[in-house]
Amino acid sequence: MKIIVPIKQVPETSNVSMDPETGTMIRDGVESIINPLDLYAIEEAVNLKEEHGGEILVISMGPAKAEMAIREAISMGCDDGILLSNKEFAGSDTLATSYALSQAIKKFNPYDLIICGERATDGDTGQVGPGIAAWLDIPFTTYVSNIKEVNENSMIVQRMVETGYEILEIETPCLLTVIKEINYPRLPSMRGKLLAKKKEIKTWGPDDIGAKKDYLGLEGSPTRVVKISKPKVSRGGEILMPKNESELDKAVDGLIEYLQKKEII
């Protein structure tokens, strides 16, 4: 099998901040990690390779430091990686991102399967995976929790829906987005880390993938962030710390009075 896994390097959740002028995420100087949900896509690709043989290519789009995410994926069992990195990619929304990734994937046709994480934790849209499939004009399904069977020209998968699960047969080549339930990601091995360290990671720009420049970056992104605001926490509270028995009685009476006022008791 030839499997392609698009991944993304995202800021750690506690470090996310936005540029109020452009409405884009500030990534410079922020510690980044592989998108946690992409780890499940990597693990499932490695499981399929171990069971059926083949190779796994990881593709990521981002700044030069995103190469670290590709090397981590290789240390987990992937075979090779490509980084799309150029100032013309900067500011891409989900449409422009899926376009660029799909153009890179076309360079590796024929392939059997594309596996994506359900969504990225920084954007939380879940649109890039389906967008790639749309640009490539291949079948796809989302929220896959189990790959039950791999056949010569199709796969049988289980996907999560609001009412439970459904079983689908999907023709290959296809794209799947997977959820956490599908597996438990492994830790990189020492041997894998050594291989990843020595691996040459190619960096491609728009010309390397034959991309139309007006489909990339902010110019190729129809999404516009009109306004950014932080939610205000209006709830207040009072902390009672009684130091003796009389203060304790007073605190208990005050708590009961408050609960009665709110009609909780």
Contact 26, 17 (CB under 8 A): yes
174-178: strand order across its sheet:
164-171, 154-161, 140-150, 174-178, 113-117, 2-7, 55-61, 80-84, 202-204
Burial string for 214-231 (b: 16+ CB within 10 Å, else e) reads ebbbbebbeeeeeeeeee
Residue 146: predicted pLDDT = 97
CB atoms within 10 A of CB 117: 27
> 150 falls in which pLDDT band (50, 70, 90)?
very high
Range 129-134 average pLDDT? 96
pTM for this prediction:
0.80
Confidence category of residue 13, pLDDT binned at 50, 70, 90: low
Q: Over pLDDT 70: what percentage of the chain?
A: 92
**By CB neighbour count within 10 A (0-12 exposed, 13-18 middle, 19+ buried), where does 7 fall?**
buried
- Which residue ranges form the domains of the chain, and what is each CATH number? 2-215 (3.40.50.620)
Q: Highest mean pLDDT: which of 9-23, 134-148, 219-233? A: 134-148
Token couple for 101 = 């990734």
* Mean pLDDT score of the chain: 90
**Whether 102 contacts 61, CB under 8 Å:** no
Q: Residue 21 pLDDT > 80, yes or no?
A: no
Assign 114 a pLDDT band (cuts: 50, 70, 90). Answer: very high
Average pLDDT over residues 44-54: 96
Burial of 10 (0-12, 13-18, 19+ CB in 10 A): buried
Q: 38, exposed or middle or buried, with CB in 10 Å at 0-12, 13-18, 19+? A: buried
Which pLDDT band, with edges at 50, 70 and 90, does 122 fall under?
Answer: confident
Q: Nearest-CA neighbor of 6 among 93, 153, 123, 119?
A: 119
